[in-house]
A and B are shown apart, each in its own frame.
Chain A
Amino acid sequence: MNESLDRVQELLKKLPGLGYRSAERIALHLLVEKPERLEPLLTALQDAATTLHRCPVTGNITEGEYCPIYDNPARRRELVCVVETVPDLLAFERAGVFQGTYHVLHGKLSPLHNVGPEDLNLTALKERVERDGVTEIILALGNDVEGESTCHYIQDVLLGGREGLEMSRIGFGLPSGGGVTFADSATLRSAIEARRKF
């Protein structure tokens, strides 16, 4: 109907988590219902786009030279948790359960999608292991085929044969508060394998 509106909706629809209806609502909201919100949003987006960049060490987003978590003297640089995406990192931070620093790969190995080691933030990981004297790496990648293969690659190829470097993978088991009865057998097997002393 209106070419310029259609164009806006089309672009909004491409954003993660937005379907046709949400795209339409947002477009009409910004252009018709609350046009006063448009300008601040545009400015904020542009500002963020110019100031935010990837931390050259950790791959996390930052406004400073390095990611604020890496820069924080209270966080242990010798302990590194490797995650696939920035949202994964944010999930750990929200939980407040980890006192080390992160490393964001921005993907996982997937030959089917043409994603190889050179497409991931791996060189920086190897460099920081040397430079920061990293003693422990926690691999917090998903349990799918690609996540598991990426873990094998980091352990065997990228950082293989290093002495004094401990490596572990996060446990996959029962959700917190979940019971045993309704868990499927793959989850129960992981839970048994990842059990610990009590």
Chain B
Amino acid sequence: MRLTRLNLEHFRNVTSASLDLEGMSHFFLGLNGQGKTNLLEAAGLISALRSFRIRETSALIQHDCERAGLFYQVEHERGNESEVTLYLSPKGKRLQVDGESVSRLGDYVGRFPTVTLCVDDIQMVRGGPALRRQFLDGAIASVDPDYYRALMRYQQALQQRNRLLKDPSRARAQLDSFDKTLAAPAWELHRSRAEQVRLLNAHLQTAYATISEGKEQAALVYQPRHEPDSAEAFLAILRERHDRDLRQGATSVGPHRDDLGFLLDGRPAQSYGSEGQQRGLVTALRLAQITRVREITGCAPIILADDVLGELDAARERGFWQAIGPDLQVLASGTAPPPEVPGRSWRIWQVESGAFTGSGE
């Protein structure tokens, strides 16, 4: 898949821009705070209408403006061209694909996959489990509408159950009923995560071997607190926890408490990995994600690399480009000109105060 045009209106610091993105390699060059990341963020919104930086839509709209507008022209491998229009307002998002409104996001996610690499990715190894769950949910939900729906239902049911637990006098009678509603999507998430992490791990090992020149063995493991083998088994675990959950006023077990482990030669990379190794790991994870997206959707995702190319050492960077190959469209950003990459000729865009000037314009 390729983005051939991206128009932005009142998006963050960009008042109006229209970018012709023919070609496979685009590099956005400029000082910090000029709008490079904003552009990649706008491009990434096409996948699941979610920013890789923040949750609230209102922050994406230019100051003092009512709404932001994004327009994408996309060329798909299946030969067809699509036009996507996305309006963002404080009230919500409005989406049109080829002139037709899309009301349910569940019917949309997975059609236009992108994979974003950013400097903060390293926090997936160093930081808390919430970031790892966020990665996993984003990686699966953006290509699997069933997972997205299960996740939405799980979150709604969890919110209801947690609210109930804060009111013990009312909770006893109703808890079983909400447990049942929670158990089905919880099991679906658990099963999908276990399967997807197993497949991601296989690709991560290959990718890490390529970019680390095969020195250490990397692994990604799914670490749920419990291993239910059916929705009924999960329901039994929930029931065992009633007293404890009521004391804590929150649900103590379930996919919202899962974690992922990064290992290097069998030891936790969080404590034993060097910075270089940790960066290598998250890069390998993104490469593994790219491979999974291709397997699931049958289409090549657009790679959005925000200021990360300078972070890898020369050997890892070479390995990275080798793993990506020349057939993926890359939109990258940085404060210094891009590296020479065999098979890629960069189109350089100068970015200044929300304006973009492409070489040759």
**A: which residues have CB within 8 A of B?**
109-112, 116-117, 144-146, 148-150, 152-153, 156-157, 184-186
Contacts and interface: CB of A to CB of B under 8 A. Distances in A.
A144 B181 CA distance: 9
B160 interface: yes
A112 B166 CA distance: 10
Nearest to B160: A111
A149 B156 CA distance: 12
Contact of B163 (A111, A150, A185): A111
B177 A109 contact: yes
A178 to B, nearest CB: 14
A31 B159 CA distance: 46
Q: Is the interface of A mostly helix, strand, loop or mixed?
A: helix
Contacts of B164: 111
Nearest to A152: B177
Contacts of B104: 184
B176 interface: yes
A117 B177 CA distance: 11
Contact of B160 (A149, A152, A156, A185): A149
A140 B173 CA distance: 22
A185 B176 contact: no
Contacts of B268: none
24 contacts: A109-B174, A109-B177, A110-B160, A145-B156, A145-B157, A145-B160, A148-B180, A148-B181, A149-B157, A149-B160, A149-B177, A149-B178, A150-B177, A152-B176, A152-B177, A152-B178, A152-B181, A153-B173, A156-B176, A156-B177, A184-B104, A186-B106, A186-B146, A186-B149
Nearest to B166: A111
Contact of A184 (B145, B153, B180): B145
A146 B160 contact: yes
Given A145-B181, A152-B180, A153-B177, A112 B160 contact: yes
A117 B153 CA distance: 22
| 7 closest residue pairs by CB, A with B | A152-B177, A111-B163, A153-B177, A111-B164, A145-B156, A149-B181, A152-B180
B216 interface: no
A185 B109 CA distance: 13
Given A111-B164, A145-B156, A185 B174 contact: no
A149 B179 CA distance: 8
B170 interface: yes
B107 interface: yes
B167 interface: yes
A146 B163 CA distance: 13
Contacts of B153: 145
Given A111-B161, A111-B170, 14 more contacts: A111-B167, A111-B178, A117-B173, A145-B160, A146-B160, A148-B180, A149-B160, A152-B177, A152-B180, A157-B176, A184-B104, A184-B107, A185-B145, A186-B106
B25 to A, nearest CB: 36
A149 B153 CA distance: 12
B89 to A, nearest CB: 16
Which residue among B106, B174, B176 has the maximum number of chain A CB atoms within 10 Å of its CB? B174
Contacts of A112: 159-160, 163
A6 B156 CA distance: 38
B159 A117 contact: no
Contacts of A186: 106, 146, 149
Nearest to B107: A184
A111 B157 CA distance: 10
Contacts of B181: 145, 148-149, 152
